[in-house]
Amino acid sequence: MTANTTTASSSAPVILDVNDLVTSIGTKPDAHRIIDGVSLQVRQGETLCVVGESGSGKSVTSLTVMGLLPKKVLVPTRGKITLAGEDILSATDRRLRQLRATTMAMIFQEPMTALNPVVPVGKQIDEVLRAHTNLDARARRERILAMMEQVRLPDVARIFKSYPHQLSGGQRQRIMIAMALVLEPKLLIADEPTTALDVTTQKQILSLIRDLQRDHGTAVLFITHDMGVVAEIADRVVVMRKGKVVETGALDAVLRAPTMEYTRNLLASVPSLIPRAARPASSEPIVLETDGLGKVYRQRSMFGDAREVAAAQNVTLTLRKGRTLGIVGESGSGKSTVARCIVRLIDPTSGEVRLGGQDISTLSRPALRPHRKRIQIVFQDPYRSLNPRVTVGETIAEGPVNYGVPHAEAIKRAGELLELVDLPADAITRYPHQFSGGQRQRIAIARALALDPDVLVADEAVSALDVSVQAQVLDLLDEIQTRLGIALLFITHDLRVAAQICDEVVVMQHGRVVEQGPAGEILTNPQQAYTKQLLEAAPGRHWDFANFRPVATAPHDTTAPI
């Protein structure tokens, strides 16, 4: 990547000028301000990254510029937005419609839902041309096909006629980009455009946006929460927090020498891609083993032609007491299937799962019950993994009560566990909605620990959390492991997280294990092409964010900048 070398000259004209913008909930003078005095500028040919955690107001900023705020709910109440010399906060609806797609265009986070499912994608791009040009049908079609080729879509004539569900996530995002850029707007707003994509696809989309920007001289306002992505694509960076701009500066300056405490902490929370120092090899007893584990889904149709989909095949892994084993892979790799088979939330179709030597893969529900307490799971979504109608104390006590612990004792123990996960003791009588996502994930961990399991399975348990909260939860897991000697099976798509927490890793793709071994080896010196590809796609791998410097030599990489 040559991301940091194409910095636009500071003499290029300013395309977007946001000055002291305030966006509030409703118009009352004391209304809560979602955006509170934000100023930023994007010049022609430049990429400005707005980075921030959830609730920072970064997305609302972009929607305000586009004039797409929900009417009467979120209202810009102060400040000025100038787009190519034109004040757009005072523009009429009609004028705003004219400006969209022609002067400013936007791509969104979820390529899965951002396209109309019942209209062929070619027609959806065509709508832009029909609304803003007088071209005839043939000219429009030619222009669309040319644009689709520019965004490097294969077989454009076929894709032109395809519906969104027939395309992959990456292809859909390319369609979104084609749609946004077909009229060569001066400003492109990209709101987390790669967050929902796998890393390898993310890398392609990022370089596509970069290349198109270079060719067309577009100004790009790029919104993201991911410091890695920032390092890949930004010329300049705006750090936002709670609706305010914390820090602005050129990419290098912000990453090397952040002036604000918040930025420093944010950068320090980004886990390094360089594996942590390896722990000495363990000779502790094996607590969990799988042997040739597989899960095949059969889709039976009425006419007999059963289709088989192997979600996981021949997975063999070993986990010792007090150790952490990571399963890494992209979506569809089967890593979650393996986790769910091991916890017996789904039934494996082949192979063995041995907990402390005992195979549990084929046990019946009643026979399984005594074994369940030895392995517990923490899920990804902190908002859905706690029953909203049950108090925190009852949630944590549920497991022990099931295994015969008297209720009062279980509640008392729940209080101790809450302390262990750094939550106040009075949390016990409160309900989940009174807690933030990170706090809820702590509660879920406490629930899992209540049964004193030998193995804790964390299925993308920190993936939904902001990076600073993620760092805290990872610290907590580490501390718990040290104190309790528990074994961790850590499922993640994030190589940075894996590098910081795992002793061993298993790399999966298409339901199969590609490579496995000590984390230090796999993540610095991978043998398999797929693992290399994954590592190369990790955004910002040339930066050691936490130490405010570039990586001396990026893992196994020859093209790293000096």
In angstroms, give the least distance from the CB of 465 to other proteins. 6
Chain positions 195 to 214 lying near other proteins, rule: CB under 8 A, are: 195-196
State the nearest-atom distance from the C-beta of 45 to other proteins, in Å: 22
Nearer to other proteins, 98 or 481 (CB): 98
Between 184 and 381, whose beta carbon lies closer to other proteins?
Answer: 381
Min separation Cβ 515 and other proteins, Å: 26
Cα gap 429→393, rounded to integer Å: 6
CB of 122 to other proteins, least distance (A): 13
Enumerate residues 321-360 that contact other proteins by CB under 8 A. 343, 345
Q: Give yes or no for residue 163 binding other proteins (CB under 8 A).
A: yes
Q: Closest approach of Cβ 562 to other proteins, in Å?
A: 33
The residues in 288-327 that bind other proteins, with binding defined as CB under 8 A, are 301-303
Tell me how far, at minimum, the Cβ of 296 lies from other proteins, in Å.
19
Q: 282 and 482 in contact (C-beta within 8 Å)? A: no
Indicate whether 524 belongs to the interface with other proteins (CB under 8 A). no
Q: How many residues sit in the footprint of other proteins (CB under 8 A)? A: 84
How far from the centroid of its chain's Cα atoms is residue 164's Cα? 22
How many angstroms separate the Cα of 83 from the Cα of each of 17, 91, 184?
6, 11, 15
**Backbone φ/ψ region at 228: left (φ over 0), alpha (ψ -120 to 50), beta:** alpha
Binding of residue 398 to other proteins (CB under 8 A): yes
Radius of gyration of the chain (CA): 26
Shortest Å distance, C-beta 73 to other proteins: 5
Residue 109, φ and ψ in degrees, nearest 5: -70, -50
CB of 464 to other proteins, least distance (A): 5
CB of 44 to other proteins, least distance (A): 21
Q: Map the footprint of other proteins across residues 19-38, applying CB under 8 A.
A: none
Residue 512 CB burial class (10 angstroms; 0-12, 13-18, ≥19): middle
Q: Provide φ and ψ at 487, rounded to 5°.
A: -95, 140
| Contact range with other proteins by CB under 8 A, out of 190-198, 203-211, 351-359, 524-532 | 190-198
Q: Is the Cβ of residue 223 or residue 234 nearer to other proteins in the bound state?
A: 223
* Closest by CA position to 61, among listed 189, 166, 231, 249: 189
What is the bridge-based pairing of β-strands 187-191 and 219-224? parallel
* Cα separation, 30 vs 88, whole angstroms: 24
Rounded to 5 degrees, what angle do the CA atoms 37, 41, 45 make? 160
143: DSSP letter: H
Among 71, 300, 307, 483, binds other proteins (CB under 8 A): 71
Nearer to other proteins, 257 or 309 (CB): 309
Which residues 361-380 are close enough to bind other proteins by CB under 8 A?
369, 372-373, 375-377, 379-380
* DSSP bridge partners of 440: none
DSSP 167-232: S-HHHHHHHHHHHHHTT--SEEEEESTTTTS-HHHHHHHHHHHHHHHHHHT-EEEEEES-HHHHHH
Residue placing its CB nearer to other proteins in the complex, 310 or 390 = 390
Using CB under 8 A as the binding rule, whether residue 161 contacts other proteins is answered as no
Q: Which is nearer to other proteins, 98 or 204 (CB)?
A: 98
Q: What residues from 115 to 154 belong to the interface with other proteins (CB under 8 A)?
A: 115-119, 127-128, 130-132
**The two three-digit tokens of residue 363, written as one number:** 């046990």
**Near other proteins by CB under 8 A, which window of 27-35, 92-100, 206-214, 514-522?**
92-100
Phi, psi of 384 (to 5 degrees): -110, -5
430-469 footprint of other proteins as x/- string (CB under 8 A): -x-xxxxxx-----x--x--xx-----------xxxxx-x
The reply to whether 387 sits near other proteins by the rule CB under 8 A is yes
